[in-house]
């Protein structure tokens, strides 16, 4: 019959299509590839050279409110000596973060009232480096965790404090999630093309969005 060869060809094709549609979106890694994935993210962290000093222009989009422009700067001698300042567009200090590697202390600046910033409590940082995050590297030290490979080839590594994702070409950190007490911080690096300090950052914290653009040095 003329129809049988066509049917015989179509059946394997349909099976292949169905199998690809059911393929897992993430494969947990074991063995050498798992070690290479962990080493990749550890190298990203080690590539950040301290001291770190950088400035940013940004926009805060609070939940159900208008966007607010601001300026920011980070100065870090080490992961245990980090200061971050947020300023209004005129350069007046709104709030300051001091991170000693254990806790992040929050203090109000002289323009806090003008910006309607009421203040915030200190936060356990547990070895989180803000400077590394702003430099496009893992915020927490990389040591173990579950390594996996996404469908597009990107690696990811997850433990109880952070989940890290590479780009599909495994050249740099593309996005990450950090689990702090009472909150999860999501960060991505839009349009990143190399392992250097990213030009743009996008953060999501408790429903608020923050976009940052790194100033040219």
CATH of the domain at 210: 2.50.20
Domain-located, residue 193: yes
Domain-located, residue 118: yes
Domain-located, residue 130: yes
Structural domain boundaries, residue 197: 26-214
Q: What is the pLDDT of residue 86?
A: 93
For residue range 116-173, what is the model confidence (pLDDT) as tens digits?
Answer: 676 677 888 889 999 999 999 999 999 999 999 999 999 999 999 999 999 999 999 9
Higher pLDDT: 16 or 89? It is 89
H helix and E strand count, the chain = 3, 14
Domain-located, residue 1: no
What is the rounded distance in angstroms from the CA atom of residue 129 to the CA atom of residue 127? 6
What is the rounded distance in angstroms from the CA atom of residue 217 to the CA atom of residue 55? 8
Residue % of the chain over a pLDDT of 90: 69
Q: Are 68 and 57 in contact (CB under 8 A)?
A: no
Using the Cα atoms of residue 102, residue 46, residue 72 and residue 162 in order, give the sign of their dihedral.
negative
Domain-located, residue 10: no
Number of domains in the chain: 1
Burial class, 79, CB count within 10 angstroms (exposed 0-12 / middle 13-18 / buried 19+)? buried
Mean pLDDT over each residue of the chain, to the nearest integer: 87
Nearest Cα neighbor of 111 from 82, 141, 86, 83 is 86
Domain-located, residue 170: yes
Least confident of 46-50, 58-62, 86-90, 145-149: 58-62
Please identify which residue in the block is written with the tokens 């300090």: 197
- In the predicted model, what is the mean pLDDT of residues 59-70? 81
Strands (E), the chain: 26-28, 52-61, 68-78, 81-87, 93-99, 103-108, 123-124, 146-150, 155-158, 162-166, 173-180, 183-188, 200-205, 208-214
Domain-located, residue 8: no
């Amino acid at each position: 019959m003329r129809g049988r060869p066509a049917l015989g060809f179509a059946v394997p094709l349909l099976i292949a299509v169905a199998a690809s549609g059911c393929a897992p979106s993430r494969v947990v890694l074991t063995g050498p590839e798992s070690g290479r994935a962990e080493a990749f993210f550890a190298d990203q962290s080690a590539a950040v050279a301290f001291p770190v000093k950088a400035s940013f222009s940004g926009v805060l989009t609070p939940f159900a409110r208008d966007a607010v422009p601001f300026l920011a700067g980070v100065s870090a001698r080490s992961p245990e000596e980090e200061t971050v300042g947020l300023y209004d567009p005129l350069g007046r200090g709104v709030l300051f973060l001091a991170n000693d590697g254990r806790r992040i202390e929050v203090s109000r600046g002289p323009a806090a009232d003008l910006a309607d910033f009421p203040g915030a409590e200190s936060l356990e940082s547990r070895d989180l480096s803000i400077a590394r995050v702003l430099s496009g590297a893992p915020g927490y030290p990389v040591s173990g965790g579950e390594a996996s490979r996404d469908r597009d080839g990107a690696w990811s590594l997850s433990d109880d404090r952070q989940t890290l994702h590479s780009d599909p070409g495994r050249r740099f950190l593309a996005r990450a999630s950090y689990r702090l007490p009472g909150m999860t911080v999501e960060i991505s690096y839009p349009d990143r093309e190399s392992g250097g300090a990213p030009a743009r950052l996008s953060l999501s914290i408790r429903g608020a969005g923050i976009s940052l653009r790194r100033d040219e040095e």
